[in-house]
Chain A
Amino acid sequence: MYNVVNPDMIVENYGADTLRLYEMFLGPVEQSKPWDTNGIDGCFRFLKKLWALYWDKDGNLALTDEEPSADSLKTLHKLIKKVTSDIEMFSYNTSISAFMVAVNELSQQKCSSRTVLQTLPVLIAPFAPHIAEELWEALGGEGSVCDAKWPRYEEKYLVETSVKLGVQFNGKVRFDMLFPADATPEQMIELATSAPEAAKYLEGMDIVKTIAIPKRIVNIVVKPKA
């Protein structure tokens, strides 16, 4: 269980890619850290989830050539940015966390865009080269994934297009709603007060005051009608 645990056992039971991820996930490269096998399952599950992104229920590649959604592009470019800067700082454990978050997001988004999913194997290749090669090959990538081109992130995909805010009445958050990121305070109040969920808080009330700060806060102060 201690420093004598032999990596062969982990390779045998989970695979080399899991071992690689797991050892890097233990903590920052330059810090000493305890050996704790609890994290192995998490890394293994992550690889299975990544794998599952690519296949339909019949075991066929499930990719489409449709335009990726803005959300998927954002997930991807956020990941490229994070992983690139993390690798430069040998902060591999945070890269792996970012991968886990991204893969969860992409599965939630039911992303099947070739554009997005073809980039993932390149990003993961330094960490988990076997699965990366397999996916790269399945996607019809040229040569080895080792010689692919490291992607660059584009700032334009990182821009928030809409912002989720809790709409407050008299300082209490009553419901969440999406606002365009570039909405003016007036537009925000207009949107909030006309939302169906707002109706019951406005019924029989006068609006005394409104406070709206783009991307930050929407508060509507009301009092019973005289």
Chain B
Amino acid sequence: MAKEYNYREIEQKWHRLWTERQTYKVTEDESREKFYVLNMFPYPSGAGLHVGHPLGYIASDIYARYKRLQGFNVLNPMGYDAYGLPAEQYAIKTGQHPEKTTFANIDRYREQLDKIGFSFDWDREVRTCTPDYYHWTQWAFQKMFNSYFDEELQKAQPIEKLIEKFKKEGRWPADEKAQSDLLMQYRIAFLGETMVNWCPKLGTVLANDEVVEGVSVRGGYPVEQKKMRQWCLRVSAYSQRLLDGLDTIDWSESIKETQRNWIGRSEGAEIEIPYTLSKEGETEGSFTIFTTRADTMFGVTFFVLAPESELVNKVTTPEQRAAVDEYLKYVKSRTERERMIDHTVTGVFSGAYGINPITGDRCPIFIAEYVLAGYGTGAIMAVPAHDSRDYAFAQHFDLPIIPLVEGADISQESYDAKEGIVCNSPISEDKSVKYDGESLCLNGLSIKEAIAETKRFVKAHNLGRVKVNYRLRDAIFSRQRYWGEPFPVYYKKGIPTMIPEECLPIELPQVEKFLPTETGEPPLGNAQIWAWDEKNRKIVDKKLIDEKAGIYPIELYTMPGFAGSSAYYLRYMDPHNNEALVSEKAASYWQNVDLYVGGSEHATGHLIYSRFWNKFLFDLGVSKKEEPFKKLVNQGMIQGRSNFVYRIKETNTFVSLLES
């Protein structure tokens, strides 16, 4: 008998020997060159591993093993992104603690992963929901709270430096609350009032990618836009560095382009627009618009405000009030992302007119959802001849369209290209307002020249300022959920105050119910032992809350899913360190991830947040590289088979999937 290929025996034997011999254990070894392979770690769902999961893990494992055979010291760790909504929803339904279900799921994942024979060093496993791990998530948050972004240095600096500066400039208020409010405008982790996707049924704020067509992805509950106090991360401060960094990394051009668009850098001008409440009326005030095409100011035929803009209230006339209110109600049901993607024309006239400072013309001011509050100033000038969305709007509301480029055909669509020779700018000599005896004339110039000339004119006559704008928003960093990292923050006389670094981690308290409280507080409102005793530096019963005794309430929000996944690659380098996120030695040896494998669906989420988080830690000197992931490979999806009709073997009979 020839020797049979007994895979079962062989594989069991080697699983045992690999464990016994610690074949995949890796330590820092200065004599060998390192190579760091990383998979996007999984969320341990109840369904277990499906065939799509191992695809990326196998691909990276092959590379890791190959690099090891070539003599590299390879780090190939695995862990779990353990916080998440499904476990919490399950807990609400069954009363079972999310930690219990999460750990049970992890055990099942592990069992399944072990069967496939990966070269993971399991001694380095991390779980984002364990206190020894989220210790460093909380720590990083506190560091961000205690830092500001120095525009000149383009990097994070200790907040004390800013206080010094304010003191020197005589801008440092005496009142503690005023001090806190002032610094809040600069801190990298800050408390702000922001528009959020609020899901009343789930009782929580949702990220943009958790909302589709106005309902929550999980559960399909309605989601509305609401202004709420939220912790935020000043990701936008890092816009330019996030953009520049893309040129230094080996990622696919499509992911880089997605990120470039998401960051959305544009150079433009901010221009002051006076407004009146009727066509002939007196000037009531002014607002600022942001435009990247100031050269098209001769073609402005209306202005548009974002529905959330504070100006909306000011410019709405009594006659238009009811229509405006109704429109605002509609917009509230839409998420920012939907508004960016859906190009259906909607809007309402405010009743007011803006005065174009270049032509002197009075143009109607509309309110429309296609202008987003967060972009620029939340107010734009509309040039329908040369912007497709303005064009659609003008067509819909029957507004004039003035072409500004010679020979441009605008009968069917706008002419958006930045090429050609400028005309109608101005239409006639009296249609260009004189400033200090000079009026702007762009006729005959190329568009490029016109842009430069307009910039000069606007600057010279103080009509506005030249400005770089980014579309990238700050990240909302709090959730009204139970199953997440608690904030190491208490409220001392209403002022958010950090629990001392030495007292971290602040562990997630036990609660009876995982739902919001009856008074509408987040689930942590159900925790009884949840107050900070400043003097004894410990968590105590909230019955004891008493300002005079120095016992204060602790934050009830928890951190969002991306908190724990933003720096996990650093923790794998030194997962058992109780003194630091990662030791100097380990960070210096492993540097950053050489090969990162995962899905492209994280292009504007995790892959932006972790780059931001790493840049912040790089500023602190904790991370040794400006970019966390040198090379990124996005594995494709495994899709279900698409044939619905099958042929019966060796016949010409076909059956559909439904029949068979």
Contact = CB atoms under 8 A, between A and B. Distances in A.
Q: How large is the interface on B (under 10, 10 to 19, 20 to 34, 35 or more residues)?
A: 35 or more
Interface string B234-252: 0000000000000000001
Contacts of A15: 7-8, 10-11
B8 to A, nearest CB: 7
B50 A5 contact: yes
A201 interface: no
Contacts of A134: 10, 13-14
A24 B62 contact: yes
Interface string A7-27: 110110011111110011011
Interface string B113-143: 0011101000000000000000000000000
B640 A3 contact: yes
Interface string A104-135: 00000000000000000010011101110110
Contact of B7 (A17, A31, A144, A146): A17
Contacts, number: 172
Contacts of A36: 641
A208 B468 CA distance: 81
B638 interface: yes
A212 B71 CA distance: 49
Given A30-B635, A126-B66, A129-B119, A55 B3 contact: yes
B116 A7 contact: yes
B412 interface: no
A133 B642 CA distance: 38
A31 B8 CA distance: 31
A99 interface: no
B633 to A, nearest CB: 6
Interface stretch (A44-52, A68-76, A183-191): A44-52
Contacts of A6: 48-51, 112
A144 B594 CA distance: 24
Contacts of B634: 30
Contacts of B14: 129-130, 133-134
A207 to B, nearest CB: 52
Contacts of B58: 20, 23-24
Interface stretch (A147-155, A169-177, A192-200, A213-221): A147-155
B500 interface: no
Nearest to A17: B7
Given A16-B115, A56-B2, A126-B69, A34 B640 contact: yes
Contact of A129 (B13, B21, B117, B638): B117
A3 to B, nearest CB: 6
Interface in A88-114: 90, 92
Given A2-B641, A11-B115, A134-B13, A129 B635 contact: no
A4 B53 CA distance: 10
Closest 4 CB pairs of A and B: A15-B7, A2-B640, A32-B636, A59-B3
26 contacts: A5-B50, A5-B51, A7-B49, A7-B112, A15-B11, A19-B116, A20-B58, A28-B636, A29-B56, A30-B252, A30-B634, A30-B636, A32-B639, A33-B639, A34-B641, A48-B5, A55-B3, A58-B1, A58-B2, A59-B1, A90-B59, A131-B5, A144-B18, A144-B21, A149-B71, A150-B66
Interface of B: 1-3, 5, 7-8, 10-11, 13-14, 17-18, 21, 23-24, 47-56, 58-59, 61-63, 65-66, 68-71, 112, 115-117, 119, 252, 633-642
